[in-house]
């Protein structure tokens, strides 16, 4: 019984150590915070005619991580199978402030569910985002003001 207890204590200790290592590695990379991202019609953010884009509902949860060089790695969620005007679409590629973003398929189903880019910024930050959207077979291109709050 004593032996079993010793063994169990060892397992718990090892698990605690592994978990502690995970936390340290995470903290060293900078904290990840959740932000709100809103897509507005191009050129309207901050003006009297500010208006949300028809594509805003395709923008999901956004996470921001500060890098050691002071820039931020931003991961913006995308809604898979987004429907507009009765047509279902998925994102093909996105350019943020002239730079191609990294497309992510986190659930590995062949459809992008987030995009990631690195920027130096102060919140709220307006970025110009150009989307290539695959609706049925036809790709649609559109640009908007992407604001990270
Ligand atoms: C994947 C998500 C989508 C995003 C992020 C997106 C984004 C945009 C953007 C930024 C514009 C420029 C005007 C505006 O901002 O409202 C736009 C316009 C437009 N989009 Fe989309 N779109 C998406 C899906 C679709 C789908 C599925 C359709 C269906 C055909 C569609 C049809 C249109 C049309 C007709 C316009 C021009 C008319 C308008 O300004 O509303 N979009 N889209």
What is the model's pLDDT at position 25?
38
Between the CA of 140 and the centroid of ligand 1 the distance, in Å, is 8
Q: How far is the CA of 137 from the centre of ligand 1 (A)?
A: 15
Q: Which two tokens stand for residue 47?
A: 């003006």
CB 63 within 8 A of CB 34: yes
Degrees, nearest 5: CA angle 82-135-95: 80
Ligand 1 environment, Cβ below 6 A: 41, 53-55, 58, 82, 84-85, 87, 89, 91, 131, 133, 135, 140, 142-144
- Measure CA of the first residue to CA of the last residue in the chain; give whole Å: 57
* 134 CA distance to ligand 1 middle (Å): 11
Distance in Å, CA 18 to ligand 1 centroid: 46
In tens, the pLDDT along 77-107 reads: 999 999 999 999 999 999 999 999 999 999 9
Residue nearest to atom 6 of ligand 1 (CA): 55
| Cis geometry, peptide bond prior to residue 46 (ω within 30 degrees of 0) | no
**Tell me, what's the pLDDT at 4?**
56
| Between 83 and 4, the higher pLDDT residue | 83
């Amino acid at each position: 019984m004593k032996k079993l207890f010793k063994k169990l204590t060892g397992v718990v200790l090892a698990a605690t150590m592994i978990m502690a290592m995970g936390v340290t590695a995470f903290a060293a990379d900078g904290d990840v915070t959740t932000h709100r991202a809103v897509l507005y019609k191009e050129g309207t953010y901050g003006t009297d005619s500010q208006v949300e884009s028809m594509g805003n509902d395709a923008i999901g949860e956004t996470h921001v991580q500060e890098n050691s060089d002071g820039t931020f790695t931003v991961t913006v969620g995308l809604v898979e199978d987004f429907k507009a005007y009765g047509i279902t679409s998925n994102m093909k590629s996105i350019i943020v402030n002239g730079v191609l973003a990294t497309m992510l398929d986190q659930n590995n189903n062949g459809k992008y569910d987030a995009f990631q880019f690195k920027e130096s910024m102060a919140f709220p930050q307006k970025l110009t985002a150009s989307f290539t959207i695959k609706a049925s077979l036809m790709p649609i291109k559109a640009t908007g003001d992407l604001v990270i709050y």
